[in-house]
């Protein structure tokens, strides 16, 4: 398989995962977790969010985490930045993020409830963030939440996604990250999503961000792969939960994505054994059983091997 | 979508699921579970196994369960039968099973360890079971375990599956049920499996029996659907575990399969709300968190609705 077929895995457990976990995680442990992830071979790690700690207390230590992690060559370390104040904080670091992520939504109701702003207002707010990031030669990823459905409005019209994506591209973002925020997608929804973006975005210019609330995330990733998508977000052990479905799973688990793709002969660059080391740490953080199935099978195999040995 | 596109769901929770659960389940509860499943709209239910209760104590009440369940028109009630004694017991019932299932493997080592017989010996043992079932106008399903990989031998050569399937067809079975017994398949393995059967078996003549040990089962079902397979085994809430991977998931969860397919506009005949009622009962039986993600999301939604109401 040609090098261009290599998959880009962005580990979002330290940000999207922990943000949605109830139990507080110390800065020390976050740093250890991210350093282990760096060694696993993931292409990119979303380290934290420079959002007010009033809104997301779990990520209030973004600057300290960035200051203390060991940067590994070849790994991109990104941060979510909601506004110019967040960008100021991120860029003031001795080692600022390699990449800046901003977020809006394809649903007006979700945008208003989640960020207290219309979609148009979020784009206005981002314009200087995107411009300054580009001036600093930082690539910009833009999340579009509710790309498949909204918890308030129901199914999202793919033309709404197209409209928002077009405006983000006009503002100069480098990458559009399409989020199935509430984890409802069937694989056919992935077809509709990318059909709606035809001619505007090539699959190669997008990342797919799937939540596994109803068990379909890995299948949707597979369908997207069939359609040409080569960049996926995932979280170690499936950290994250879903604020709109208590008790539900979080992001699609990195181990499961990597296991499936490598099993298909597709290269991810990720070492599954090292990923299991990350997962072992992550599974101790959350105080509940973790969703990753590959991880549980691997831990079962390791414990058998050690009791046999 | 044409009627022929309708999917056949065989619920194997009462047999394959419970067989691999440690906690004993009473006959009363099994009967209640199967009666609820009958009302959910699944096409077929594998009720129990007429195997010696010395080997599978959990299913030692097969005759009582068959005697007490309420048969619902349109639902096929099947039983696993390992040998002629098992068939004698099944056929002696006032209401015998509608369908008989036999099992062999595509791996010699697995066959010997699991049934103390070579593959050839299992086929000899089944010949009279199959003949007598057909004489009694009972269709016969034959399982081929380890159709993708064996816990002892590693990956299975698809030509071994083809060879065993050919012999089973010669013996007169109506349906070949291909099992990824240890739950290792990537979707590309499903391609290899059906390529190996090309010209011998049409996808429509087979059922796929997936275990979700490493999280890939639903994706493999989706890939099989793309390849034309229209019959799947699954278990309510993903009952079952895996004896070769302690702590791992069981069969692919019926709720997740149905949610995905219905989301694609494919008819399964199954009512998801009624299935959640089955799942609620099943989840109380096993003494551990259940793997089905759709179920957890649905229960979360129901509890929110009731606390809001």
Helices (H) and strands (E) in chain B, counts: 12, 10
| Residue B62 CB coordination number (10 Å) | 27
- Per-residue confidence band for B301, with pLDDT thresholds at 50, 70 and 90: confident
- List chain B residues with CB under 8 Å of A184: 263
The number of CA neighbours under 13 Å toward the Cβ of A36 is: 20
Say if CB B181 and CB B210 are below 8 A apart.
Answer: no
Task: State pLDDT tens for residues B203-234.
Answer: 778 999 999 999 999 999 999 999 999 999 99
Which residue of A215, A243, A302, A306 to mutate against B (max B Cβ within 10 Å)?
Answer: A215
Strand A140-145 and strand A149-150: pairing?
unpaired
Nearest to B132 by CA among B185, B182, B92: B92
Mean pLDDT of chain A: 93
Say if CB A141 and CB A148 are below 8 A apart.
Answer: no
Give whole-number Cα distances, B296 to A96, A181, A253, A265, B293, in Å.
39, 17, 17, 32, 5
Q: What is the pLDDT of residue B3?
A: 45
Our answer to whether residue A242 is catalytic in this structure is yes
**What's the sign of the alpha-carbon dihedral B82, B84, B88, B91?**
positive
Kindly report the nearest CA distance between residue B27 and chain A, in angstroms. 30
Residue of B nearest to A248 (CA): B297
CA B165 remoteness from chain centre: 17
Q: Is B172 on the interface with A (CB under 8 A)?
A: no
The number of CA neighbours under 13 Å toward the Cβ of B17 is: 31
Scanning A71-201, the segments in alpha helix (DSSP H) are 84-91, 108-115, 119-135, 158-171, 187-196
Residue whose pair of structure tokens reads 């190996």 in the numeric block: B196
Residue A143, classed as helix, strand or coil, is strand
Task: State pLDDT tens for residues B228-238.
Answer: 999 999 999 99
Residue whose pair of structure tokens reads 């039986």 in the numeric block: B285
Kindly report the nearest CA distance between residue A214 and chain B, in angstroms. 4
Query: In this predicted structure, which of A138-152, A199-213, B78-92 has the lowest mean pLDDT?
Result: A199-213
Kindly report the nearest CA distance between residue A90 and chain B, in angstroms. 36
* B281 sits in which H/E element: helix B272-283
- List chain B residues with CB under 8 Å of A250: none
Say if CB B58 and CB B18 are below 8 A apart.
Answer: yes
Burial status of residue B193 (CB atoms within 10 A of its CB: 0-12, 13-18, 19 or more): buried
Residue of B nearest to A191 (CA): B264
- Per-residue confidence band for B302, with pLDDT thresholds at 50, 70 and 90: confident
Say if CB A104 and CB A125 are below 8 A apart.
Answer: no
The whole-number average pLDDT for the span A5-13 is: 93
Q: Which of A184, A212, A301 faces B245 most closely, judged by CB atoms?
A: A301
Task: State pLDDT tens for residues B27-63.
Answer: 999 999 999 999 999 999 999 999 888 888 899 999 9
Kindly report the nearest CA distance between residue B60 and chain A, in angstroms. 29
Q: Is B185 on the interface with A (CB under 8 A)?
A: yes
Q: Is A180 on the interface with B (CB under 8 A)?
A: no
Residue A178, classed as helix, strand or coil, is strand
- Per-residue confidence band for B307, with pLDDT thresholds at 50, 70 and 90: low
Provide the residue count of chain A.
309
Q: What is the pLDDT of residue A226?
A: 97
- List chain A residues with CB under 8 Å of B183: 297
* 3-state DSSP of B208-275: EEEECCCCCHHHHHHHHHHCCCCEEEEEHHHCCCCCCCCCCCCECEHHHHHHHHHHCCCCCCCCHHHH
Q: Is B280 on the interface with A (CB under 8 A)?
A: no
Nearest to B93 by CA among B81, B107, B105: B81
* B192 sits in which H/E element: helix B187-196
Task: State pLDDT tens for residues A65-123.
Answer: 999 999 999 999 999 999 999 999 999 999 999 999 999 999 999 999 988 999 999 99
Say if CB A129 and CB A85 are below 8 A apart.
Answer: no
Strand B76-80 and strand A76-80: pairing?
unpaired
> Which value does ipTM take for this structure?
0.94
Which residues on adjacent β-strands are paired with residue A140?
A100
| Residue B63 CB coordination number (10 Å) | 15
Residue of B nearest to A301 (CA): B245
Q: What is the pLDDT of residue A1?
A: 38
Q: Is A267 on the interface with B (CB under 8 A)?
A: no
Asked if the Cβ–Cβ distance from A215 to B260 is below 8 Å, we say yes
Scanning chain A, the segments in alpha helix (DSSP H) are 18-19, 27-40, 62-68, 84-91, 108-115, 119-135, 158-171, 187-196, 217-226, 254-263, 272-285, 293-308
- Per-residue confidence band for A3, with pLDDT thresholds at 50, 70 and 90: very low
Task: State pLDDT tens for residues A280-306.
Answer: 999 998 888 888 999 999 988 777 776
Residue whose pair of structure tokens reads 């989706």 in the numeric block: B222
């Amino acid at each position: 398989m040609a090098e261009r077929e290599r998959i880009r895995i962005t580990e979002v457990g330290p940000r999207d995962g922990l943000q949605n976990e109830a139990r507080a995680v110390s800065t020390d442990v976050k740093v250890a977790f991210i350093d282990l992830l760096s060694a696993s071979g993931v292409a990119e790690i979303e380290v934290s969010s420079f959002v007010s700690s009033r809104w997301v207390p779990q990520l209030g230590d973004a600057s300290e985490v960035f200051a203390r992690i060991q940067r590994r060559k070849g790994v991109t370390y990104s941060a979510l930045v909601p506004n110019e104040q967040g960008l100021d904080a991120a860029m003031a670091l001795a080692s600022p993020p390699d990449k800046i992520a901003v977020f809006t939504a394809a649903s007006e109701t979700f945008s208003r409830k989640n960020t207290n702003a219309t979609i148009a207002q979020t784009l206005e707010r981002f314009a200087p963030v995107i411009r300054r990031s580009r001036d600093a030669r930082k690539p910009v990823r833009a999340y579009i939440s509710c790309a498949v459905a909204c918890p308030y409005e129901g199914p999202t019209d793919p033309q709404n996604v197209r409209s928002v994506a077009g405006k983000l591209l006009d503002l100069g973002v480098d990458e559009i990250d399409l989020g199935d925020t509430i984890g409802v997608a069937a694989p056919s929804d992935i077809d509709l999503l990318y059909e709606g973006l035809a001619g505007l975005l090539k699959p190669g210019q997008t990342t797919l961000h799937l939540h596994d609330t109803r068990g379909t995330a890995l299948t949707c990733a597979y369908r997207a792969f069939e359609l040409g998508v080569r960049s996926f977000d995932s979280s170690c052990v499936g950290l994250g939960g879903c604020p709109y479905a208590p008790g539900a799973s979080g992001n699609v688990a990195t181990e499961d994505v990597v296991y499936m793709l490598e099993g298909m002969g597709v290269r991810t660059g990720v070492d599954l054994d090292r990923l299991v080391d990350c997962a072992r740490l992550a599974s101790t953080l959350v105080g509940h059983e973790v969703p990753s199935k590959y991880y549980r099978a691997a831990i079962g195999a390791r414990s058998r091997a050690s009791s046999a040995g």
